[in-house]
Amino acid sequence: MALDARRMQAFFALKDAGDLLQMLMNDQLQRDGGLSYLQFSLLARLAQAPDGRMRMTDLADTAVHSRSGLSYQAGKLEAAGLIRRERGDDDERSVTAVITEDGRELLEKVLPGHIAVVEQGMFEALDDRQADALADALEAVCERLRDLVPSATERRRKRA
Amino acid sequence: MALDARRMQAFFALKDAGDLLQMLMNDQLQRDGGLSYLQFSLLARLAQAPDGRMRMTDLADTAVHSRSGLSYQAGKLEAAGLIRRERGDDDERSVTAVITEDGRELLEKVLPGHIAVVEQGMFEALDDRQADALADALEAVCERLRDLVPSATERRRKRA
DNA sequence: TATTGTTATACTCTATAACTATA
DNA sequence: TATAGTTATAGAGTATAACAATA
């Protein structure tokens, strides 16, 4: 097979794997906690941040495509009592999203099933050496892509 | 780092890489040919099938989540003259989607830019050995996931 | 009675731009 | 004047279920 064709196939495998995993996750997360995958990933990002807090803009830049999309999702998470929003101390314009105790509890509740899906769907097909290689390569790719893809903030600036 | 944490990170890298690549693709495909990524992938799947033809059900099972979703997209592609739909010969219920000459031309037109995005976003970050390992691992994962995730047809049967 | 494909309906999500408030 | 965040609007896409036609 030509090199290009093999690489294109790897790309399609990456896309398909991500999409198929998301379908499994959506089912599992909905069943175990009434969460969409996007909502789960927002909660997970907050939970691992220092003190469970992040500025809305920073959260939008790492997680979601537009700020309005984040406001929409944050509204749903806040209505469900899983996060709350606080005005920033230093900069009165900014808003900080904070995961609540309920949010952490729900995350704990859905996490085992989530990990099981990742294990079964992604890693049972690989031996340890392959799994390591996959993790290394994906992280390198991801880092490169983050430099390449303009953040929500940069996109907004460009429009203006 | 615990094994679980490292694996979860690999999973998030997979999801993020796929999402970031899709953002780049959507821009490029829209610019070069007015196509969404989903429409492009449907055309690409048809183009590589024998005679450029595939039954709607088979196409739905490999590409898209629900049959109605495929009908919707096929309607747009047909209106743009990129595919046409024919009644099946053997089974009068079935419909076969066929890529048109215009469809193949458009695919040729957007493909160089598409390959360039994959090269720059995905493979420039990797050496040849890493790229091979990534391709192998992703294909193993993908194959496993295809067994695990119920197809559109199976989902429909389950509901009934 | 089961299956193929389409469609009607309702819903979720997204993005753009307009807006408010602060820097 | 620029930035942070929200919101109003409008559009794209999705899924479910109901449907018609064929097996």
Q: Which of B22, B134, B143 sits opposite A10 (nearest CB)?
A: B134
d(CA B126, CA B107): 27
Q: What totals of helices (H) and strands (E) does chain A contain, helices first?
A: 7, 3
Cβ <8 Å between A135 and B9: yes
Tens of pLDDT along A48-67?
999 999 999 999 998 778 89
The predicted pLDDT at position B112 comes to: 95
Cβ–Cβ gap B137/A123 under 8 Å: no
Domain spanning A33-125, CATH class: mainly alpha
**For residue A22, which residues of chain B lie inside 8 Å, CB to CB?**
15
Q: Is A116 an 8 Å CB contact of chain B?
A: no
Separation between Cα atoms, residue B22 and residue A19, nearest integer Å = 11
Nearest CA in chain B to A26: B149
Q: One-letter amino acid identity for B55?
A: R
Q: Are A7 and B131 within 8 A, CB to CB? A: yes
A115 and chain B: CB distance < 8 Å anywhere?
A: yes
Q: Do A138 and B14 touch (CB under 8 A)?
A: yes
Question: Domain extents for chain A?
Answer: 33-125
Q: pLDDT (tens digit, 0 to 9) for every residue of chain B, 160 residues total? A: 565 788 999 999 999 999 999 999 999 999 999 999 999 999 999 999 999 999 999 999 987 788 999 999 999 999 999 999 999 989 999 999 999 999 999 999 999 999 999 999 999 999 999 999 999 999 999 999 999 998 999 999 887 7
Q: A113-151 pLDDT, tens per residue?
A: 999 999 999 999 999 999 999 999 999 999 999 999 988
Q: Considering only residues 74 to 93 of chain B, which have any Cβ-Cβ distance to chain A shorter than 8 Å?
A: none
